[in-house]
Amino acid sequence: MILRNQVEWALHCCSILAGLPEGRFISTKILAEFHGVPKEYLSKALQSLSQAGLVETTLGPRGGYRLARPAGEITFLDIVEAVEGKEPTFRCSEIRGNNPCLPKGYCSPDKCAIARIMWQADQAWRQSLRETSLADLFDLLGRELDPEIFKATAAWLMARTGGGD
């Protein structure tokens, strides 16, 4: 399974938004600059998050994006599905019916075993993402990221959102 770049970008942007102080917004331009990705394409990912109700936006010089709900209420699955959609990752087209050894008109009463296994794997993957919130990620980053890098990142972001005073 290959997810679009926009999923990675959306997850990284949401991790930044999870650390924003109350009432603060961050622009697409700043997020694109921070992550080194094209602003135009990042905008599409952020619009998907907005349409899904995961982020909210405001216009103006201090405008941009922030989380629409607390970080603990937004899961990785919410973000992935906002960008990729909710369709299963595997689609069965019943090619087993092309088997030349099947009797004429044969139709299996059971769902395809391969499809069942793939759908089960898809559900397990989605459950894992459903169990991980942005707050979990933010806590993990706080433990794993060098404190100086964490502090420098926060300062860099705050300076660009008008909060570097």
Residue 130 near residue 77 (C-beta atoms within 8 A): yes
Residue with tokens 């906002």: 82
In degrees and rounded to multiples of 5, residue 142 shows phi and psi of -60, -30
Polymer length of the chain = 165
> Distance from first CA to last CA of the chain, Å, rounded?
45
pLDDT band at 165 (very low <50, low <70, confident <90, very high): very low
Q: State the DSSP H helix or E strand holding residue 67, giving kind and residue range, or none if neither.
A: strand 64-67
Please say if the pLDDT value at position 113 is more than 60: yes
- 21: tokens are 């102080």
Provide the pairing of β-strand 64-67 with 55-58. antiparallel
- Residue with the bigger pLDDT between 113 and 162: it is 113
Please say if the pLDDT value at position 23 is more than 50: yes
pTM over cut 0.85: yes
Amino acid at 79: I
For 55-93, the pLDDT digits (tens) are 999 988 778 999 999 999 999 999 999 999 999 888 888
Helix (H, G, I), strand (E, B) or coil at 163: coil
Q: For residues 138 and 141, give the distance between their C-alpha atoms in angstroms, rounded to a whole number.
A: 5
Question: Per mean pLDDT, which range of 12-21, 86-95, 127-136 is the poorest?
Answer: 86-95
Mean pLDDT for all residues in the chain: 91
At 133 the pLDDT is 97
Residue 64 near residue 27 (C-beta atoms within 8 A): yes
